[in-house]
Structure 1
Amino acid sequence: MTDARTESAVVVAVAWDDADAVALRAEMAAEVGPRYAALLRSLPENPNAVAAEAVAGTFVGYAPDAAGHVAIRWNRGDIEVKRMFVRPRHRGTGMADLLLAAAETAARDLSAPRVVLQTGHLQPEAVRFYERSGYHRIPLFPPYEHLPLSNCFAKHLI
């Protein structure tokens, strides 16, 4: 999606440890983490942990400052969208659409048959966004089977 607000926006592939990517993930953790802190403490390990070596792509959106982040990783033959985040002042500008499109393009370039993702039950705005973006609900998939309130989605690319 491109509109007057995203006309000058750009999404750039970066390394997982890129300073802007790290800062955006930290902001996401600070915003979303408290919503799920009690739930995550009850689990033996954090299913949302992302090992840098498992990442297949990391992207930062600029408009003109660092506005958002998304990463992708392989998960059992699918590409999984991880760490999708847009800074509050850039929400509603189309930045999330640009980031998700970059993730989907990268997944196609990797010949992935579909893209999957998980979002928490305390993020209804994310659920609406993914449904609006053509994603459909699927059963919980590993490693999220221990989070029964999770929302899992997929979008076929072929």
Structure 2
Amino acid sequence: MRPDLRIEPVPFDHPDAVALRAAQRAELTARYGTPDSEPGPAPTAADTTVFLLARDAGGDAVGCGALRALGGGVGEVKRMYVVPARRRTGVAGVVLAALEAEAGRRGWTVLKLETGTEQPDAMAFYERHGYRRIPNFGHYAASELSVCYERALVPDAMNAAAIPLPWSRLGRPARRSPGAGPAAGHAHGPRKAGPALPAGGSAELA
């Protein structure tokens, strides 16, 4: 648990959520070289099940993540992002743990996600956290730059991780080591290889 972080659900159009998504989109553009094209529909307020913010001890929003229901007990992790100054400090792991716990509360049994070939940092992060690579699914099936993952959720583990609302502090169990996480979430973003970001500019953008 990180005592300096607080996880809270907010509306999709909350100003801090909008600002983090805009920063994420800018990084995707820098990483892939195109401003718009996505291999699948971008999440909206209508189809986002929950949007979580991570706040530091001063109340600043330092990360985010969202869930979108795919049906049949399956959900998709979306819009994972951590501000550059807080990368490699475990924030991404805390956000992912919170999303997994929320999925467990909803009775979901599988989480899927999509990232991109230009984001090896994101792929390594998800693999460290128990996600396995799968064939590209849904809207990403024909995307040559998409890389997809999934993880089966274990009900007992999810129940143990769950913290009732109102949200306060949530950390990943000690067996999960913090690391350089999705600095910017899954790459449902530009799908054209472009210039790499500067060293340390992790851009796991969703």
What is the TM-score of this pair, normalised by structure 2? 0.69
> Hey, which of these two has a bigger chunk of helix by percent?
1
Work out which of the residue numbers 17, 30, 36 in structure 2 matches 1:34.
Answer: 30
> How far 1:148 moved relative to its partner?
2.2
- The structure 1 segments of at least 4 consecutive aligned residues displaced by more than 2 Å after TM superposition are 33-41
Gaps of 5+ in 1: none
Question: Which secondary structure state, in structure 1, belongs to the residue aligned with residue 49 of structure 2?
Answer: strand
Distance 1:103 1:67 in 2: 16
Confirm or deny that 1:139 pairs with 2:135: yes
Question: Which secondary structure state, in structure 2, belongs to the residue aligned with residue 51 of structure 1?
Answer: coil
User: Are the counterparts in 1 of residues 39 and 140 from structure 2 also a CA contact under 8 Å?
Assistant: no
Match of 2:125 in 1: 129
Q: Whose RCO is larger (CA < 8 A, sep 6+)?
A: 2
Match of 2:110 in 1: 114
User: Are the counterparts in 1 of residues 29 and 35 from structure 2 also a CA contact under 8 Å?
Assistant: no
Match of 1:70 in 2: 65
RMSD between aligned alpha carbons?
Answer: 1.7
> Hey, which of these two has a bigger chunk of strand by percent?
1
Per-residue CA deviation, residues 36-93 of structure 1 (Å, 9 max, x unaligned), is: 344965xxx6515112211110000011311001010012431100010000101111
> How far 1:35 moved relative to its partner?
2.6
Distance verdict in 2 for CA 1:30–1:40, change over 3 Å: closer
Question: Which secondary structure state, in structure 2, belongs to the residue aligned with residue 127 of structure 1?
Answer: helix
Distance verdict in 2 for CA 1:48–1:123, change over 3 Å: farther
Match of 1:60 in 2: 53
Gaps of 5+ in 2: 155-206
Percent same amino acid among aligned pairs? Answer: 39
What is the TM-score of this pair, normalised by structure 1? 0.88
Q: How many residues align?
A: 151
Question: Which secondary structure state, in structure 1, belongs to the residue aligned with residue 138 of structure 2?
Answer: coil
